[in-house]
Amino acid sequence: MSKKPFYITTPIYYPSANLHIGNTYTTVAADAIARFKRLTGHDVMFLTGTDEHGQKLQRIAEEKGVQPIEYIDEIVAGIKSLWTLMDIKYDKFIRTTEDYHKKAVQKIFKQLYDQGDIYKSSYEGLYCTPCESFWTETQLVDGKCPDCGRPVEKAKEEAYFFKMSNYADRLIEYIETHPEFIQPESRKNEMLNNFLRPGLQDLCISRTSFTWGIPVEFDPGHVIYVWIDALSNYITALGYNSENTELLEKYWPADVHLIGKDILRFHTIYWPIMLMALNMPLPKQVFGHGWLLVDGGKMSKSKGNVVDPVILVNKFGVDAVRYYLLHEIPFGADGLFNNEIFIKKTNSDLANDLGNLLSRTVTMIEKYFDGVIPEPQVKESLDEELISLALNTPKLAEEALDKFNAPAALDHIWTLIRRTNKYIDETTPWVLGKDEEQKPRLATVLYNLAESLRIVSVLVSPFLPSTSEKINAQINATNITWDSLKEFNGTVFGTKVCKGEAIFPRIDVEAKLAELDKIAEEAKKAAAVKEMEPIKEEITIEDFDKIDLRVVKVLECEPIKKAKKLLKLKVDLGGEVRQVVSGIAQHYKPEELVGKNVVLVANLKPVKLRGELSQGMILCASTDDDSKLFAVNPGDVPAGSIVK
């Protein structure tokens, strides 16, 4: 019988910097699912890769004085070796700078243009460079990019647009009639209510402001918007728009796109609409997992709190890290990466529960049967509970994993591990071992332990592949197929066990925590003395003179409803009262400002922010991430004084 195909993908990562534990999480989760599917007899295609175009990458390369591809090649090599380190067994790695992908994307663009889904126009708006997205005034949050919170710039470009609205109704209907399409459920409602139902705007899908992208074939001044390029990878990797479409026929539609919740909109709105326009079936499911947070919130380079998986693997082994990611982060929700919990869990679940079970079993087989796995002889009713749990666990684990719930699957497996440890306490082999007459019973007990371990080893193999191999080597397990779990007799008696080193040596919590704390401290220090922002282009005194800076006294100050970051101030400019809206609400309480002198950029063109007129800007000094901010204090001079 031919195997059932199963196609799973990760997002393709931006090679803008080395990957961290958050990206590693997505890939490890996808790898465990892919391995599980292979084990249960599926013909798996597991795709990952890198998303190598866009203005941000061009800028980084320019700053470093190299060609983009030179910079990217180095990062991609690092990503591939990270995946080797993490035991990731992907079937294909796509790079969007590869020729076959670029050609296929150009053809997609042309087809959509020819059939009228894409049209040329021009775009004027507020542009966020890191996100490569245009926004309208109303979409901004506190005057900044709603996705990343960074400042936006005014920009105008001739551009191509995708008529998203043509497909919105069809997509809404599809989502409503396919409840499994967007998972978890809560994310589906977010997409419908926040984006689709209010109405879709046409999407700007080309850029002329930079060159590091796939050129529009019939209009080479334009490069294709990075998300159109990136999303297409899921089909170009299988040969879409190429001579050989065998893989496409076999694996498309994908069974699941596993992604972080941050890129759900792209995968559940833009991507399905592109596919509808191309007349292709939609992926069966898009699963948006949560964020991996660290103490203090999101990981960020400027905070110096980015967790590096390489350090953890080198200190604690790959499977300790895989286990933590797969078991401790509730699938679908945000989870925490914390060094202390990580070390304690490694000790309790891996060193104690699993490691001890293996070493006790192998030691007893050596001690009582010269290392030869004995033939079971005397059964007791006590055995039944263990055996029935061992035979039932594969089904429970598979059901959980079919819902992509790795933590639940591991819980089922650990229930069996703990039950097996309890079986040792119940049967007391060390007591049986003292009495020659009990040897037949002891043989059964030790056989059952080895057999339960064999089943555990097969079950953990998708999650902890190298641990599984080590267990197999010690108990000499050769029946390691999924089918071999149907019966409790796959261990071959008469074969020799081979005691090895502890699979998870106990970790000295205090000592290792101190080591990790020291590394974290150093990273924080390094982040604090990071490279200085480059000084802007030189200006003349005349240029500077154009800016009219005045001392103003704050007369009134109040928050603005529904705008967490904004305060509305009335300031005295020495005879004239002005209203100013300022994004400082997270740093000042209104009463702290009233009566104070601050500096105003007095000749800045007035704008409306959240419907309120702002006639100038208050000068502030802030850290890069805005975690600290101070209004510049001009001292005690009369309102209206000039600052120069």
Residue 171 or 413 with smaller CB distance to ligand MSP: 171
- Tokens at residue 595, please? 């009566």
**Considering the complex, what minimum distance in angstroms separates the CB of residue 205 from ligand MSP?**
14
Binding site for ligand MSP (CB under 6 A): 11-14, 22-23, 25-26, 51, 230-231, 233, 259-260, 262-263, 291-292, 299
Rounded distance between C-alpha atoms, residue 355 and residue 630, angstroms: 54
Helices 406-427 and 381-402: crossing angle in degrees, nearest 10, is 170
Q: Minimal distance in Å, beta carbon 62 to ligand MSP?
A: 20
Residue among 138, 142, 135, 140 nearest 561 (CA): 142
145 is in an annotated binding site: yes
- Closer residue to ligand MSP (CB): 300 or 484: 300
In whole angstroms, the minimum distance from the beta carbon of 196 to ligand MSP comes to: 20
Minimum distance from residue 294 beta carbon to ligand MSP (Å): 8
Tell me which residue has tokens 């046409």: 202
| Closer to ligand MSP by Cβ: residue 26 or 457 | 26
Query: Is the CB of residue 96 less than 8 Å from the CB of residue 233?
Result: yes
Tell the smallest beta-carbon distance from residue 54 to ligand MSP (Å): 9
* Beta carbon of residue 78, minimum distance to ligand MSP (angstroms, whole number): 13
Q: Which is nearer to ligand MSP, 145 or 299 (CB)?
A: 299
In terms of CB distance, is 333 or 514 closer to ligand MSP?
Answer: 333
Classify residue 417 by burial, with Cβ atoms within 10 Å: 0-12, 13-18, 19+: buried
In what helix (H) or strand (E) does residue 78 lie, and over which residues does it extend?
Answer: helix 68-85
Tell me if 131 is assigned to a ligand binding site.
yes
Q: Report d(CA 500, CA 506) in Å as an integer.
A: 15
Q: Cβ closer to ligand MSP: 306 or 477?
A: 306
Nearer to ligand MSP, 286 or 416 (CB): 286
Cβ 296 to ligand MSP shortest distance, Å: 13
- Please report how many Cα atoms fall inside a 13 Å half-sphere around the Cα of residue 177, on the Cβ side: 7
- The 10 Å Cβ neighbour count of residue 1 is 4
Task: Report how far apart, in Å, the C-alpha atoms of 94 and of each of 12, 132, 202, 226, 353 are.
Answer: 8, 22, 29, 15, 39
DSSP letter string over 93-156? EEETTSHHHHHHHHHHHHHHHHTTSEEEEEEEEEEETTTTEEE-GGG-BTTB-TTT--B-EEEE
Which amino acid is it at 148?
C
Tokens of 611: 């419907």
Give the number of other Cβ atoms within 10 Å of residue 546's Cβ.
8
Cβ pair 104, 113 in contact under 8 A: no
Nearer to ligand MSP, 23 or 420 (CB): 23
Distance CA 9, CA 257 (A): 5
Could you give the angle at the alpha carbon of 42 between the alpha carbons of 37 and 44, nearest 5°? 75
Give, for 292, the enclosing helix (H) or strand (E): strand 292-294
Output 11 or 283, the one with its CB closest to ligand MSP.
Answer: 11
- Nearer of residues 259 and 449 to ligand MSP, judged by Cβ: 259
List the one residue out of 137, 120, 83 whose CA is nearest residue 610.
137
Q: How far is the CB of 334 from ligand MSP (least distance, A)?
A: 8
CB–CB of 449/362 below 8 Å?
A: no
To ligand MSP, the closest distance from the beta carbon of 286 in angstroms equals: 11
Distance between CA atoms of 237 and 51, rounded to whole angstroms?
13
Nearer to ligand MSP among residue 231 and residue 386 (C-beta): 231
Q: Assess contact for 513 and 340: CB atoms under 8 A.
A: yes
Give the nearest distance from C-beta 32 to ligand MSP in angstroms.
15
Report the Cα 132 to chain-centroid distance in Å. Answer: 19
Q: How far is the CB of 634 from ligand MSP (least distance, A)?
A: 41
Question: Residue 415 in contact with residue 389, Cβ under 8 Å?
Answer: yes
| Residue 498 annotated as part of some ligand binding site | no
Element at 597 (helix H, strand E)? strand 597-601
620 marked among binding-site residues: no
Examine residue 283 and say whether the peptide bond preceding it is cis (omega within 30 degrees of 0). Answer: no
Q: Are strands 153-162 and 203-204 parallel, antiparallel or unpaired?
A: antiparallel
| Cα separation, 633 vs 599, whole angstroms | 7
Rounded Cα gap, residues 42 and 482, in angstroms? 11
By beta-carbon proximity to ligand MSP, the closer residue of 71 and 368 is 71
Q: How far is the CB of 259 from ligand MSP (least distance, A)?
A: 5
Instruction: List binding-site positions.
Output: 128, 131, 145, 148
Instruction: List binding-site positions for Zn(2+).
Output: 128, 131, 145, 148
